[in-house]
Structure 1
Amino acid sequence: MHTLRDASILLFLFFLIILFYQLHYKSELSIPIEIPILSKSETFKIVSNEYSSLWYQKYCFKNKLSQKLVLENLPQYLNNARVSTNKICQQFATKFDALFRLEEIYGLLKLSPVYLNKINQWLHNDELLIEQIKKQRIIKIYNRYTHEEMLYNYMRSQRPQTKNEISPEEYTSKLLQDSKKNCDFCSKNYLNSTAEDRFGRLEHRLSYTAANTFKYDRWHTLVVSRNHDTLHLTEAEIVDMFELVQEWLHKAYSIEPMYTCPEMIWDAMPKSGASQMHTHLQASLGFDIYYGNIERTRQGARFYAQRNNGRNYFNDYLYIHQVLGLTIPIGNAHIIIHLTPIKDLEIMIMDEKLNKNFYKALHLVLRTFVDDLNEYSFSFGMYLPPMNESSADRHEMPVVCRLVFRNSVTNLRSDMNGLDLYTSSVIGKDRYVLYQQLKEGIEKRQK
């Protein structure tokens, strides 16, 4: 009897232990892992650097002002700043190394005479390129906190491309024209061809909302411009769309204030994945945290502050690009040709809040890409600071949008591949070349 009773007690205790561990780990998993904000963390604030990028170029990078900066020489620029006796140069190098990891490596090729002849045809018998392809210089830039990475090799831009009979401009124009015929979003068609949000439809003079029929979140809507043509929006039409987005966000937040994290996406043309040709962006509110890629940046920024005496990640991120001469200011808004793009033609716009400078910057970028660089398809992602935070609450996040123009609309080859999806972004266009193209396009439009 005693043996049976003892066994029963042991069995009961065993089940209690199992139950305890189940409850313990269940509660652990239900708590989101979040890096706390330091009370002494800096707020994000746009400030002008005391020294210009040209000053850094001359005194820190030891690069003659008559010589253009090039991405391939970034390791040398950084080394010169590291060994400089100037404290300003040393401070830049320290901040760069705290945020980024930079590597320079070489990939070597052994070419047979037959294959070399074929490569000569691809490279139009350019002797310099032939030498470069035998010993290829690769620049790796890794963001230690968001874990984004760029692998840059100029020779990637020299790969043979297929030619198309129809020009991208002609193809795009025809697609836009044909899609107007039975467009669900044009004229008054949307009243019977789109859904409404639970609180109804919001309308402005130049745009309106339509609840997404195929939702990816509880609070998820479309903001539709009354202009069918995404590629030729006026600045006023852009402003109207984003003002309506903010109105919708505040309306949704007032109904369910636990949804605090505002995000937007915008795809133009089928090449980018757009299901409708008509101009529309998508807005959503995330519950408690942002969607994965954005939340990774948010938590990375907090971790950066913890490891760097409370410094604001976004302040230092912007500062590094300002020093490197990779930003174009439009008032307080900054267009950033950043070091870890997802593809060659990605840029970023950063500001403290949505305002006229941000809208102007976005419009200038779109016009330069479409009208000057003849790029006709883009994907856009954006986030705003949480709805329950303000500058008075020491919010650590700015307004950030990332905009990437996709591969040529007539190119059958996808612009995304296994490398981009599962490893790192591989880039063939020098960031300084893109910077110069955008700078020239923007400056001529500001005259």
Structure 2
Amino acid sequence: MKVRMTSTVQMKRSHLIGISFIIMLVLYVVFSSLRLGWLSSLHGQSDDAGSSHGSGTLKRGKYSVWPDFSVALDKQPDWFVKNCWPGEKLSVSAVSQVMGRWAEALPLHCSEMYKTFVTIFDVKTLKTKVLIEGPFAKKVKKWLGNNEDLFQEANDQTVIKIYNFYTNEQVLINPLRDKRPIAKPQKPERELFTAQDHFTRLESEHSVSASNTFKWDKWHGLILTKQHHPLNWNEEQFMDLMKTAMKWFEVVQAQDTSFSYPVIIWDLLPHASASQIHPHIHTNLNAERYYGYLENWRSAGELYYHDTSRNYFTDLAGTHKALNLSIQLGEAVAFAHLIPRKDDEVVVMSRLPDEDFFKLIYYTVRAFIEDMEKFCFSLAVALPTMGGDKTGQIPAFARIVTRGSVSSIRSDISSVDLFVASNVNIDPYKVIGYIRNSVAKRYTDTSGASF
């Protein structure tokens, strides 16, 4: 009897051990699956990513051949204004009303473009109250130019948040900030000193190449205007500057074919971080990929293609055109960006870096300098890859922003801009108005001219 009881206890103990082992094994498998799923989602590599579009899974750093970029729309921007949100005055302050009317609009083109817009963007409008009393109220009124209406608006403020699902860019807008008076600065100038690349200088009528004295990459050059004043350069001189830059890319790529991702950078005046006063652009040719922020737009294009089988850049430009935030010149388009990196951002796009593309950049920066009297600006241009690889082929695009007053000691970049989101408070409809006026008064038709 004792032997039988002992045997029974041992059997139960064995069963418990076996069951415990099975439970632990199941828990391990479940935990491992969840962990792998979490890591995959963290890196954007889930097994079903893009399963309904294209072939295979979406892999980091791998690109497909996208549909060609196009600036064409089935309907003109005026049609969307009249049919999708009739009667609404277009401004960033009225974005919530426009979105509400657009969501309910019946015409098919309205609903299709609205679906495209909300696929890319998320828009939120929030109300917030501020209590301003005592001596501080007097100071705030002074900031607002002693405008009583603006002071009342300061007590009941509106904050607008726009987020891009594909680039993860976000802008935080307070329209009241754009209404504050701004002092006008003075214009400076300085002389020219440069280093030289190891190959022969490229020189044209109005510009010359040089080397950056302290390079940030293997192929990092400078193209400079021959005249040294930071602001007094015309369209002919600017276009010559761009032609020399394009020639620099051709010469470098012929010497080193493994470098095929061309980028142009330009900061004007010290408040925009320029190290010298004279106009000079940075030319860079990179290997493997574009530089970080620019590559981020390219990877957004791949993700969007896997989700929709469409060209992200075509739809990015198209939604801005539908919202009447653009102007087109030939096959190039410029639009006031809904999610600006900094103040007054204008994006210029074209399938190729042709004459119209660079002219729109020129008209934009001249609008900043002459019409808006904002002399400091920064821009970055990403050009289509060189060497024939069509995977992940971006259009030529430029991002152009103003950088605050040249005479201000206050930086235009804060911890919010660096680590949280763009904090920009200028109405894009005001910006595109300046760009349209600039094109209207400065454009001359030179179709047929080579670039």
TM-score by length of 1: 0.81
Counterparts of 2:237 and 2:145, CA distance in 1: 45
Partner of 1:221: 221
> 2:288 matched to 1:288?
yes
How do residues 45-444 of structure 1 correspond to structure 2 at under 5 angstroms? Answer: 45-47=70-72, 49-63=73-87, 68-123=89-144, 126-158=147-179, 168=185, 171-172=186-187, 175-176=188-189, 179-180=190-191, 183-184=192-193, 194-197=195-198, 199-308=199-308, 310-389=309-388, 393=390, 396-444=393-441
Task: Kindly provide the amino acid, as one letter, of the partner of residue 341 in structure 2.
Answer: I
User: Cα–Cα, structure 1 residues 194 and 109, in superposed 2: closer, same or farther, change >3 Å?
Assistant: same
Counterparts of 1:70 and 1:239, CA distance in 2: 33
Partner of 2:31: none
TM-score by length of 2: 0.80
* Secondary structure of 1:90's aligned partner: helix
Counterparts of 2:205 and 2:410, CA distance in 1: 39
Tell me the alpha carbon deviations over residues 337-374 of structure 1, each in whole angstroms, 9 at most, x when there is no partner.
11111222221111111222123222222222222211
* Secondary structure of 2:387's aligned partner: coil
User: Cα–Cα, structure 1 residues 224 and 115, in superposed 2: closer, same or farther, change >3 Å?
Assistant: closer
* Secondary structure of 2:231's aligned partner: helix
The structural deviation recorded for 1:279 is: 1.8
Maintained 8 Å contact 1:260/1:287? yes
The structural deviation recorded for 1:99 is: 0.5
Tell me the alpha carbon deviations over residues 134-182 of structure 1, each in whole angstroms, 9 at most, x when there is no partner.
2211111111111111111112235576x6xxx52xx31xx21xx23xx
Tell me the alpha carbon deviations over residues 308-362 of structure 1, each in whole angstroms, 9 at most, x when there is no partner.
1x10000000000000111111222211111111222221111111222123222
In our comparison, the structure showing a higher alpha carbon Rg is 2
Maintained 8 Å contact 1:46/1:351? yes
Maintained 8 Å contact 1:235/1:359? no
Counterparts of 1:445 and 1:243, CA distance in 2: 20
The structural deviation recorded for 1:435 is: 1.5
Tell me the alpha carbon deviations over residues 240-286 of structure 1, each in whole angstroms, 9 at most, x when there is no partner.
22222122212211222111111110111111111111221111111
User: Cα–Cα, structure 1 residues 107 and 231, in superposed 2: closer, same or farther, change >3 Å?
Assistant: same
Counterparts of 2:133 and 2:268, CA distance in 1: 44
Task: Kindly provide the amino acid, as one letter, of the partner of residue 105 in structure 2.
Answer: S
User: Cα–Cα, structure 1 residues 252 and 121, in superposed 2: closer, same or farther, change >3 Å?
Assistant: closer
Partner of 1:34: 60
The structural deviation recorded for 1:215 is: 0.6
Partner of 1:20: none
The counterpart of 1:44, out of the listed 63, 69, 90, is 69
* Secondary structure of 1:257's aligned partner: coil
The structural deviation recorded for 1:126 is: 4.0
Aligned pair count? 388
Unmatched runs of 5 consecutive residues or more in structure 2 = 1-42, 44-58, 445-451
Counterparts of 2:70 and 2:122, CA distance in 1: 25
The structural deviation recorded for 1:83 is: 1.8
* Secondary structure of 1:363's aligned partner: helix
Percent identical among aligned pairs is 29
Counterparts of 1:160 and 1:324, CA distance in 2: 28
User: Cα–Cα, structure 1 residues 63 and 160, in superposed 2: closer, same or farther, change >3 Å?
Assistant: closer
105-114 vs 49-58, greater mean Cα deviation:
105-114
The structural deviation recorded for 1:35 is: 4.7
The structural deviation recorded for 1:442 is: 2.6
* Secondary structure of 1:388's aligned partner: coil
Unmatched runs of 5 consecutive residues or more in structure 1 = 1-28, 185-192
Maintained 8 Å contact 2:361/2:398? no
User: Cα–Cα, structure 1 residues 215 and 46, in superposed 2: closer, same or farther, change >3 Å?
Assistant: same
Counterparts of 1:211 and 1:203, CA distance in 2: 13
The structural deviation recorded for 1:79 is: 2.0
